[in-house]
Structure 1
């Protein structure tokens, strides 16, 4: 069984394949290669060399100021669905299932429409709306934008 490939920068597991065992991380944008060893069923990611640190020179004093090297931070995969919009729709129109139609889940949206007269979908919609608003952007993107 082959091990899962992870980004050496951020540990993420979502990639765009660039060819020749080269991958680009969807979270931090790092590019790395993975060599598959046929004798041992494992992968060993090889990281591209890091960029040199930024050096800012203050023109007035002539002194150098060293800053942190360019370490890519988490850059969210921005899909077309917003967690704030989904949360507000769930709180306000949750009894009609508007948030499920927004998140491309029409089956659940229709189920909410059928049972809206029982007030159960409105209670569940309120809970789901609070859950969407408390969820991190990364978790929301992994669950609803992929």
Structure 2
């Protein structure tokens, strides 16, 4: 004899299996008949293009000019050299200060220590005027 309260669970499982099999067989018949009657399938759409790589990767190292900070050349000598690394010079400027910060960033980019390295200059509006130099693996 069945344990009390288990017969309804078995009956529900049986009905679920019957419903699944009925639906599956009906779909198989519809797909096979529609495949015969349908026109040739259109050409495959091109695969979606992958999203573009981020413009600036997470920095590996960061340098900011200021009191007690080593010169840019010394800081760069302490960093690992890798062909995939790019030097990003970020210039943040307050309203009306774009040209001044651009001049400061250009002076940093002219540092002889940056010779032979891939350098990118980025300017963006901000609440303060800052120059930040980062090393990132975003080259190629």
| TM-score, structure 2 normalization | 0.17
Q: Which has the higher contact order (CA 8 A, sep 6+)?
A: 2
| TM-score, structure 1 normalization | 0.17
